[in-house]
């Protein structure tokens, strides 16, 4: 399906740059399934004319979203939304969309100026950072609790981290992808590291491989200094 520029709305008076407005709107349209895998977006010239902005602005947005894996730019076919696997991964990594939608609705129902609420939130984050330090989520892949209970207990003691384990031999690929997306730190056996890394790379996560007692000691020392 092909979409026109009528799908997008920009505000030249907003403190947010035009390219950011368009980029984030495309992400929302994908997140809400209004833009589906394979859908064709307007050409840079078409969208620039419809929105009365510079073509280079659209080109930059499309290039950024291509780098993020959300768009495909094919010669002769135009710019399209990426495939189902890429979009599924995007949604798994950005599960805050429903929360944002509910928050905006609640602010609107309370009579607040929505843009002021969002800008205030942005200012708060810049001034004060995270409201509280969150516990890290550790994922141990193919690490049976019975065989590594000491290490799991030691990590819990040192960091108060949330520990999760998953057995690749009895888990689906989707379960592994979801677990990796939800993890801050991923630890696995050295012989499984390459296989796990394929999924972790797609989620832009780092894998720590443990193949010996020395490796485990290094891991624990690294955690102590976080």
Cβ 175 vs Cβ 148: under 8 Å: no
Q: What is the pLDDT of residues 106-157, one digit of tens each?
A: 999 999 998 888 888 888 887 776 665 566 788 888 765 555 655 666 666 6
For residue 194, CA distances in Å to 77, 114, 144, 159, 163 come to: 35, 46, 19, 27, 22
For residue 198, CA distances in Å to 53, 156, 173, 211 come to: 40, 27, 12, 18
pLDDT in tens, the chain (226 residues): 555 546 788 888 888 899 999 999 999 999 999 999 999 999 999 999 999 999 999 999 999 999 999 999 887 778 999 999 999 989 988 888 999 999 999 999 999 998 888 888 888 887 776 665 566 788 888 765 555 655 666 666 666 667 888 887 778 888 888 888 888 888 887 778 888 888 888 888 888 877 655 555 556 555 554 5
User: Start-end ranges of CATH 3.40.50.2300 in the chain?
Assistant: 137-224
Domain 5-93 carries which CATH code?
Answer: 1.10.10.10
Both tokens of residue 82? Answer: 């990426």
Domain 137-224 carries which CATH code?
Answer: 3.40.50.2300
Partner residues linked to 207 by β-bridges: 186
Locus of tokens 């207990």: 153
pTM score of the predicted model? 0.58
């Amino acid at each position: 399906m092909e979409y026109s520029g009528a799908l997008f709305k920009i505000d030249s008076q907003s403190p947010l740059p035009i390219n950011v407005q368009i980029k984030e709107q495309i992400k929302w349209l994908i997140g809400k399934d209004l833009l589906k895998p394979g859908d064709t977006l307007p050409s840079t010239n078409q969208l620039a004319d419809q929105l009365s902005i510079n073509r280079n602005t659209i080109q930059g947005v499309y290039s950024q979203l291509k780098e993020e894996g959300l768009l495909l730019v094919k010669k002769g076919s135009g710019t399209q939304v990426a495939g189902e696997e890429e979009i599924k991964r995007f949604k798994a990594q950005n599960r805050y969309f429903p929360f944002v939608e509910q928050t905006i609705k609640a602010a609107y129902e309370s009579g607040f100026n929505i843009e002021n609420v969002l800008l205030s939130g942005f200012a708060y984050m810049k001034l004060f950072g995270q409201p509280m330090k969150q516990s890290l989520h550790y994922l141990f892949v193919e690490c049976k609790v019975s065989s590594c209970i000491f290490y799991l207990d030691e990590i819990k003691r040192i960091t108060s981290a949330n520990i999760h384990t998953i057995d690749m031999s009895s888990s689906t690929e989707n379960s592994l992808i979801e677990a990796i997306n939800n993890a801050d730190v991923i630890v696995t056996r050295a012989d499984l590291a390459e296989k796990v890394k394929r999924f972790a790379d797609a989620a832009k996560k780092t894998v720590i491989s443990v193949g010996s007692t020395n490796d485990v000691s290094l891991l624990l020392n690294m955690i102590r200094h976080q």
